[in-house]
Chain A
Amino acid sequence: MRDEGHGTLGMQTQELEDSFLIGRISAGDQEAFARFYDLHSPAVLGLVARVLGARGEAEEVLQEVFLQVWRQSDRYEAARSTPRGWLLMLARSRALDRLRRRDARGRHELEAATDAAFPRLVSPLGTRRLEDVERREQILTALNLLSPEQRRCIELAFFEGLTHTQIAERLEAPLGTVKSRILLGMNKLRQALDTRP
């Protein structure tokens, strides 16, 4: 019944400041917005850059995402997710929108081929706070439990917004195989993450 994601004091502190900032942002406080940007823009840039590859577009989407935060911070629901979780899902969805609008799809695949994957477990560049680093390590460790095929399918869905059918075409694999890789991969991740403290 205890909320697994909020067991440590470190998590609480971060979430608290974020919730406070979101409240101030919906009241039109630009200083709070600037602070929220400083705290989370590296993560947003990291995520959108992994989805989009190209620098110019990542920059534009970063700006779009935070403009949306400024305009729609009152849509954030404290009971549903943490402010950071809300922000990152907003970022992923804007980045995927941009990806789908691209004309030259082929060029993207070439550019992003090396980047569109979950990073290796190395010293973090974008996330500075200890609690973020610890959490990411947990998730990246959990991702390492997946088979390379399961991981690739989840990455194609997550970073490129591809559906079952599109992933099967891309990997030249049977549709049923792709479906079960995603199902098993997500379940395995769940098990690994649910045992977290």
Chain B
Amino acid sequence: MTSSAHSPRFAELLPAYALGALDGDELRDLAAHLAAGCPACESELRRLAAEVEDLAAAAAEPPESLAAAAPEILDGVKRRLLAELPRLPRAPRVPGESSPAAEGSSPAPPAAFPSPPPPAHGTRPVRAVRTARSARRWAPLAAAAVLALVAVWGLVRQAGMGTEIERLRGESRQLAARAAAAERQAALAQAESLRLARTISILAAPGVQSVRLAGMGTSHAAAGRTYVDVADRQAVFYASGLPALGPDKTYQLWYLDDQDHPTSAGVFEVDARGKAALVVDQPLPVERIQAWAVTVEPRGGRPQPTGPMALAG
């Protein structure tokens, strides 16, 4: 038997594989078969994984020998965990927070500015002279001396001034760039928060229906889920495991009505890890929707599907 052709023998090995009970030649053969890609086995394996999850849920109860001690164990572990979390080397990035590049280019600003010029040195002697009554007649001389000192200080400083000015200009350009970046991030964060608000309103709607989409063809390892808010006729769609597309291609989501007629629900891109989310806020004919599908289309999408199907359900 070749490892790539699907056969009943492989289908029979899948339940044990999902449980982790397969070994020896059978494990080797099935692993090779799965690695070569088999949409039928992949989709069966997803169903079996859900079954094993169900088993885990059924087993999720402390045995009697431990039941009495459970509350104490749970509290103790929670205390240890919460004490440990702040010490963990973990820096989660929240959308809208500055990027590492921006953090790297922001030295503590006060240290970067030059110290304030003459007055710091100049005013103190002047004030001292004014407050000393007996020295009033020396005031003009003292003032002249101070002026001379200031002039000398100025000459000495002048040499460094050119570079200082350049530095300030650079600094100012950098600040302007950071301000622009912050504005862009704020706009993105606002758009993201609107999108999240829409998503939450759909997900939290009473009677929201969930539809699972299975991977097809070369995207057999992908999965998707659409949540349909029946009352408000909106939907939100999630996908994972979708392969990245070239710059001239895009994924397009469709719904099929009871006549199997497809209507576009929007185009979307996947992130670096193959994940995607799309809020469908056009009014949907929810009673008539029979199925959802994702196809690969030329950039910008098409009025009717033309490319291969990546997800369906």
Contact = CB atoms under 8 A, between A and B. Distances in A.
A30 B207 contact: no
Q: Which label, helix, strand, loop or mixed, suits the secondary structure of the A interface?
A: helix
A177 interface: no
B88 A62 contact: no
Nearest to A63: B77
B263 interface: no
A174 interface: no
Interface string B1-41: 00000000000100110111111101000000000000000
B284 to A, nearest CB: 16
Given A16-B203, A118-B55, A126 B61 contact: yes
Interface stretch (B112-120, B142-150, B156-164, B237-245): B237-245
Interface stretch (B128-136, B182-190, B209-217, B301-309): B209-217
A21 interface: no
A27 interface: yes
Contacts of A62: 73-74, 77
Given A81-B53, A136-B58, A30 B88 contact: no
B50 interface: yes
A38 B82 CA distance: 12
Given A46-B62, A47-B60, A163-B21, A28 B81 contact: no
A26 B77 CA distance: 20
A124 interface: yes
A75 B18 CA distance: 20
A20 B58 CA distance: 24
Given A91-B56, A189-B51, A80 B240 contact: yes
A79 B74 contact: no
Contact of B238 (A34, A37, A79, A157): A79
A16 B229 CA distance: 14
Interface string B202-237: 011011111111000000001111000000000000
Given A45-B74, A59-B76, A125-B62, A77 B241 contact: yes
A62 B80 CA distance: 11
A126 B281 CA distance: 40
B63 interface: yes
Nearest to B20: A161
A92 B18 CA distance: 13
Contact of A45 (B18, B21, B62, B224): B62
A108 B48 CA distance: 28
Interface in B82-114: 82, 84-86, 88, 90-92, 94
Contacts of B94: 27-28
Nearest to A29: B92
B57 A79 contact: no
B63 A115 contact: yes
Given A41-B74, A63-B81, A79-B241, A140 B58 contact: yes
Contact of B57 (A30, A49, A139): A139
B192 interface: no
B225 A126 contact: no
B175 interface: no
Given A49-B66, A66-B77, A136 B57 contact: yes
Nearest to B81: A66
B57 A84 contact: yes
Nearest to B91: A28
A31 B222 CA distance: 32
Given A3-B225, A62-B77, A89-B56, A157 B62 contact: no
Given A1-B211, A1-B291, A80-B240, A115 B22 contact: no
A47 B73 CA distance: 14
Contact of A126 (B20, B46, B70): B70
Given A70-B88, A157-B20, A163-B21, A3 B210 contact: yes
Contacts of A143: 58
Contacts of A9: 206-207
Given A27-B92, A157-B16, 7 more contacts: A42-B70, A45-B62, A81-B50, A126-B61, A157-B21, A183-B12, A190-B47
Q: Which 7 A-B pairs have the closest CB atoms?
A: A43-B60, A186-B15, A115-B63, A163-B23, A88-B56, A139-B58, A157-B21
22 contacts: A16-B203, A20-B200, A26-B92, A41-B77, A63-B77, A70-B88, A71-B90, A78-B225, A80-B46, A80-B240, A85-B53, A89-B52, A89-B56, A115-B63, A157-B21, A158-B19, A161-B20, A163-B22, A165-B23, A183-B16, A186-B16, A189-B51
